Amino acid sequence: MHKVRVIFMAVIAGVVLILFGVGIFVAARYTFWVDGAPRPGDMPGIVSYFVSAVNGTLAANLGALLGISISLRGWRGPKNATEVLQWVAAGWYVAMLLLAAAFWGWAGFTDDASKIVSLLPEMTKNAIGIFIAILAAVLGVQTAVTRANAIAEEAHGRV
């Protein structure tokens, strides 16, 4: 029964992650590749909604992995199927944020709603905040690990 649960989770997660990426490509399509582009007003609202909703979940997942998991357990590889899915989702999320940033850059970093689907600048602005948070997490974890190692070395030196 456990394998059925894992397979079910992996399939659903995979579909959602792929559709998240497709949504970013759809935003790029209405910005660059449709006849008469850009036509951001033709972007289907449901696609924007889906990408925004998944964005929030993936950002929370990434934050939990970096802010909670790493600070509690240090930098270690995933130990079970759920953790593997969490790390895959985090990696996919970062890749899609970079893709959205590349598309926005290709559009000249404009915020003009008549020239670009607003999803691309929004995702890129989220990416900036997330990358800053990742930097802070890495620096914070390294500081905590360094401090813990120094304390441990000091304790062993006294014994």
- Per-residue pLDDT of 63-104, as tens digits, reads 888 776 666 666 677 888 888 999 999 999 999 999 999 999
**Residues 127, 153: Cα–Cα separation, whole Å:** 38
Q: What is the mean pLDDT of residues 112-126?
A: 96
pLDDT of residue 152: 76
146 band by pLDDT with thresholds 50, 70 and 90: low
24 band by pLDDT with thresholds 50, 70 and 90: very high
The Cβ-side half-sphere exposure at 102, using a 13 Å CA radius, reads: 8
Distances (CA, A) of 149 to 37, 70, 138, 145, 153: 57, 16, 16, 6, 6
State the chain's mean pLDDT as an integer: 88
Q: pTM of the entire structure?
A: 0.85
pLDDT in tens, 52-63: 999 999 999 988
Q: Where are the domains of the chain?
A: 2-158
